[in-house]
């Protein structure tokens, strides 16, 4: 089992490089990814036959290129993600790219057909829509087993309140549709949410077995979906990977025995592979008291990292001196960390429901750097241009070298598609 790391509120380096130097060379706000962490997490999952990265977590071409080179395949939830996968050198053959969604929009369907991409159907309609255009197709079905689990209700992807997947009692209908369109169901997939624990997992495995027996011998693969947690604070833990694998491996073996052929076992994490590699470096631009609250206001806001605002998500936060020095010897204070946006909710330290929280941090001065940690999953990819903020640059640290993998946006990028009619 992986041990929960300890999070320090003082930091002066990322992967051996100076935070202040990174900020000076690339500007702030800045996303930095330590590639070695991603590679370590890929190795941690070596027991699975197939590791499929849910690129929605962090889809920069450089990141998914490096994942491909490590033997990871990829998931795509949109036409854009299919194009990203192709641009990074992934191939559709042997399920190198799988389209996993609840609908096809017109563009995604055309891309899937053009490149012969395997589809994981999240609705019965997808079986019909694909079958019509690609007779003889092999498909995977994403099943909603009737229950789910997530770190927030918004990341729970199972149960009646979730729009995801094919409802578990509709397998008959799917088999009928498959028959009608000459489609073969070769895979089953369940992803019940982000933040799996082992208790829910045995229920998922049980549901997988039940559903697989209904579908029958055409099955050749099962997918455990994503959802592996990473600790965002010292009170959280990783899931026990050995036990997690055991449970799925047992399920796979039982099915293989019933069907008389091998069943491959796939896992589809996003967060587990990329979250801990990522840091959002911001500069402190104001230190002010508002009543009893001490605010540190940064040049990064929820346009850069939306998780605290959307889910009340907790991110570890550390401080680096503007001179590049660690801050461990500074006085510790209770502070609220906010961004530059014209919105009261633009606060990185808050709980779900929007309560402003204090965080114990080294006292800051204007010009210091605040680092939002574990920001490599659902960070940059959820960034927006709200308040006409330009999206941050992204840097990857590989072999001790900081490489720019996305330029900071420019004003021209921002207004490129806008038209003022005569
Ligand atoms: N597979 C499927 C079908 C999914 O829907 C997802 C996530 C994953 C895999 C990867 O889940 P992960 O291993 O990363 O937990 N924006 C939210 C997370 C939304 C996840 C949506 N689907 C957050 O920041 O927590």
Quote the pLDDT of residue 328: 97
Tell me, in angstroms, the distance from the centre of ligand 1 to residue 51's CA: 15
State the average pLDDT over residues 44-62: 98
Residue 307, ligand 1, Cβ within 6 A:
yes
Would you call the peptide bond into 29 cis, given omega within 30 degrees of 0 as the criterion? yes
Averaged over 128-143, what is the pLDDT?
97
Q: Is residue 223 within 6 Å of ligand 1 at its C-beta? A: no
Identify the three-state secondary structure at position 209: helix
Q: So what's the pLDDT on residue 61?
A: 99
Supply the residues annotated as catalytic: 342
Residue 260 has pLDDT above 90, yes or no: yes
pLDDT of residue 389: 98
pLDDT band for position 392 (50/70/90)?
Answer: very high
Distance CA(310)–CA(375), nearest Å, equals 14
Q: How far is CA 417 from CA 122, 303, 413, 414, in A?
A: 32, 19, 8, 8
Say how many Å lie between the CA of residue 314 and the centre of ligand 1. 17
Cβ of 189 below 6 Å from ligand 1: no
Mutate to test the pocket of ligand 1, among 44, 53, 54 (most ligand atoms within 8 A of CB): 54
pLDDT per residue over 362-388, tens digit each?
A: 999 999 999 999 999 999 999 999 999
Binding residues for substrate: 271, 307, 311, 343, 378
Residue list, annotated binding site: 227, 268-271, 307, 311, 343, 378
User: Is this structure's pTM higher than 0.80?
Assistant: yes
| Residues making up the binding site for pyridoxal 5'-phosphate | 227, 268-271, 378
Using CA atoms, how far residue 389 sits from 32, 107, 369, 378, 414, in Å, is: 19, 29, 19, 18, 9
pLDDT at 52 over 80: yes
Mean per-residue pLDDT, 338-356: 92
378 lines ligand 1 (CB under 6 A): yes
339 and 322 in contact (C-beta within 8 Å)? Answer: no
Q: Which atom of ligand 1 is nearest to the CA of 120?
A: 3
Could you report the predicted ipTM of this complex, rounded to two decimals? 0.99
pLDDT at 198 over 90: no
- The whole-chain average pLDDT of the chain stands at 96
pLDDT, one tens digit per residue, over 168-187 is: 999 999 999 999 999 999 99
Question: How sure is the predictor about 238, in pLDDT bands with cuts at 50, 70 and 90?
Answer: very high
CA of residue 291 to ligand 1 center, whole Å: 39
Continuous segment of H or E residues that includes residue 397: strand 393-398
375 neighbors 280 (Cβ within 8 angstroms): yes
Q: What is the mean pLDDT of residues 160-175?
A: 94
**pLDDT for 124 beyond 80:** yes
What torsion, rounded to 10 degrees, do the Cα atoms 170, 175, 178, 180 define?
A: -100
pLDDT over 80 at 196, yes or no: no
User: Which domains are delineated in the chain?
Assistant: 46-268 (3.20.20.10), 275-415 (2.40.37.10)
Report the C-alpha dihedral over residues 18, 274, 155, 228, rounded to 10 degrees. Answer: -120
């Amino acid at each position: 089992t992986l041990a929960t790391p300890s999070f320090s509120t003082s930091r002066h380096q990322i992967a051996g490089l100076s935070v202040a130097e990174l900020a000076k060379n690339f500007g702030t706000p800045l996303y930095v990814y330590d590639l070695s962490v991603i590679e370590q997490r890929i190795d941690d999952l070596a027991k699975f036959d197939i590791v499929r990265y849910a690129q929605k977590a962090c889809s920069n071409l450089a990141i998914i290129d490096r994942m491909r080179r490590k033997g990871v395949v990829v998931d795509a939830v949109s036409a854009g993600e299919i194009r990203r996968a192709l641009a990074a050198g992934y191939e559709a053959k042997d399920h190198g790219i799988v389209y996993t969604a609840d609908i096809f929009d017109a563009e995604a369907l055309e891309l899937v057909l053009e490149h012969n991409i395997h589809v994981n159907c999240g609705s019965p309609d997808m079986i019909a829509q694909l079958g019509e255009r690609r007779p003889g197709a092999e498909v995977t079905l994403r099943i909603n087993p009737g229950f789910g689990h997530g770190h927030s209700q918004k990341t729970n992807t199972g149960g009646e309140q979730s729009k995801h997947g094919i409802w578990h009692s509709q397998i008959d209908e799917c088999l009928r549709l498959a028959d009608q369109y000459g489609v073969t169901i070769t895979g089953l997939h369940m992803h019940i949410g982000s933040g799996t624990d082992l208790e829910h997992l045995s229920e998922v495995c049980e549901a997988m077995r039940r559903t697989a027996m209904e579908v029958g011998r055409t099955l050749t693969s099962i997918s455990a979906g994503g959802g592996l947690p990473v600790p965002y604070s010292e009170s959280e833990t990783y899931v026990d990977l050995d036990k997690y694998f055991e449970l799925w491996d047992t399920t796979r073996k039982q099915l293989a025995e019933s069907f008389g052929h091998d069943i491959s076992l796939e896992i589809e994490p996003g967060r587990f592979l990329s979250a801990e590699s990522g840091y959002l470096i911001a500069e402190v631009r104001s230190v002010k008291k508002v009543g009893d609250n001490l605010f540190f206001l940064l040049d990064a806001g929820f346009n850069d990292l939306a998780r605290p605002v959307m889910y009340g998500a907790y991110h570890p936060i550390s401080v680096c001196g503007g001179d590049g020095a660690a801050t461990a010897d500074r006085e510790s204070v209770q502070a609220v960390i906010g961004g530059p946006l014209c919105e009261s909710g633009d606060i990185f330290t808050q709980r779900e429901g929007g309560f402003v929280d204090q965080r114990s941090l080294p006292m800051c001065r204007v010009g210091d750097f605040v680092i939002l940690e574990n920001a490599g999953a659902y960070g940059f990819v959820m960034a927006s241009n709200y308040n006409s903020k330009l999206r941050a640059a992204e840097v990857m640290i590989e072999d001790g070298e900081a490489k720019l993998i996305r330029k900071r946006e420019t004003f021209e990028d921002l207004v490129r598609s806008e038209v003022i009619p005569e």
